[in-house]
Amino acid sequence: MSNSSQENLGTGIINKVFGLYYTVNDGQKDIACFLKGKIRINKEFKKFTNPVAVGDNVKFQYNDDGSGSIIDLLPRSNLFSRRDKGRNAREDVIAANLDVVLVIQSFLDPPVNPRFVDRLAVRAIKENIEPVLCMNKADLATEEMTNTVIEYYKNSGLKIIITSALNMQGIDSLKKMLTGKRTLLAGYSGVGKSSLINSIYQDLNLAVSDISDKTGKGRHTTTNVIMYKQKDGTELIDSPGVREFGLVDIEPEELGNFFYEFTQYRSDCTFSNCTHEHEPGCGVKDRVESGIVCRERYVSYLNMLESLLEYREQKYR
């Protein structure tokens, strides 16, 4: 490659994805980029709906018209992705190189879905990303609602932060936890992701929508995946509301490794490869019966296990 060609090359971080177009920050400015053909046809990326994502470090070429051409994806420390429905469904990469996945739920409008939270937490732990549950709209919560969430996650090791974007409850604690980290905000539409970001960094003034009167579900206010970088080094990645989350790259026998309260009692299982489902002498099932592990959380695990078994059967059928 000639010296002039070398001078036209740069590296940067993808901070926005909108369809097949990307915005890359080279440390000084944002550059509108597209993928070079060799990345799109690379067999290594065939399993992905999109080969690059927000948070990815990339090498790109500066074009004469001010745009850029992404020519290479640099190594990732981790990626957060999901599997779409279908036998041959590809992997949808949401974001990469994360420190935290903040799973945002609300006590009401829409109500909390612990099994959805569990799936995102499992995926985060699999990638060595810290999962945190943010329970928003605390101003709508009764004491019983709060206690139910706490009981569900007892002994799970999952960090829980209770917030209200309306009255600013827990906002300072949340900001302190996120400062200096790259965090993906994930959850249903309507749980208050944009409101929370506005509460922490009021200068952003992101659009906020209400719950639909017809469906009772949140309206999408974020249509693209976007990273907002602050002067203190904090990076917040906002994503469109996600309602379904299929797990990828996890074998059924591995699932229990990503439930903290299960790993504590794995050594008490009679079988070293115990799936904590049907085997006799299971240390995890014993703790469920004694109330140490929440029964509903265990049922959530069984549902996940079943879906992974079904996917494996379909894959190799």
Taken in order 87, 92, 98, 101, the sign of the CA dihedral is: negative
Single-letter code of the amino acid located at 109: D
Bridge pairing between strands 9-18 and 225-229: antiparallel
Residue 98 near residue 55, CB atoms below 8 Å: yes
Q: Which residue has the tokens 């797990």?
A: 247
User: 196 is written with which tokens?
Assistant: 């929370």
Query: What does the pLDDT look like over 150-164, one tens digit per residue?
Result: 999 998 999 999 999
Of 75, 101, 123, the one marking the end of a domain is 75
How high is the pLDDT of residue 136? 96
Residue 168 lies in a domain: yes
How high is the pLDDT of residue 255? 96
How high is the pLDDT of residue 208? 64
CATH number of the domain within which 278 lies: 1.10.40.50
87/157 same-domain check: yes
Class of residue 176 by CB neighbours under 10 A (exposed 0-12, middle 13-18, buried 19+): exposed
Tell me how many domains the chain contains: 3
305/171 same-domain check: no
267/233 same-domain check: no
SS3 104: strand
Residue 223 lies in a domain: yes
How high is the pLDDT of residue 195? 87
Query: Kindly report the CA angle at 219 between 213 and 221, in degrees rounded to 5?
Result: 150
How high is the pLDDT of residue 242? 66
32/150 same-domain check: no
221/256 same-domain check: no
How high is the pLDDT of residue 241? 62
Q: Which residue has the tokens 């690059």?
A: 52
CATH number of the domain within which 17 lies: 2.40.50.140
129/227 same-domain check: yes
Residue 217 lies in a domain: yes
How high is the pLDDT of residue 220? 40
How high is the pLDDT of residue 93? 87
Residue 79 near residue 50, CB atoms below 8 Å: no
54/38 same-domain check: yes
155/196 same-domain check: yes
How high is the pLDDT of residue 213? 39
The boundaries of the domain holding residue 54 are 3-75
65/85 same-domain check: no
Residue 226 lies in a domain: yes
Residue 246 lies in a domain: no
User: 128 is written with which tokens?
Assistant: 């060595």
Q: Is the peptide bond before 131 cis (omega within 30 degrees of 0)?
A: no
11/90 same-domain check: no
Residue 247 lies in a domain: no
99/214 same-domain check: yes
Residue 244 lies in a domain: no
Of 75, 95, 128, the one marking the end of a domain is 75
97/213 same-domain check: yes
Residue 236 near residue 178, CB atoms below 8 Å: yes
Residue 109 lies in a domain: yes
SS3 199: helix
Of 22, 47, 75, the one marking the end of a domain is 75
How high is the pLDDT of residue 86? 56
CATH number of the domain within which 197 lies: 3.40.50.300
| Residue segments in the chain with a per-residue pLDDT below the cut of 70 | 1-7, 84-89, 207-223, 241-244, 316-317
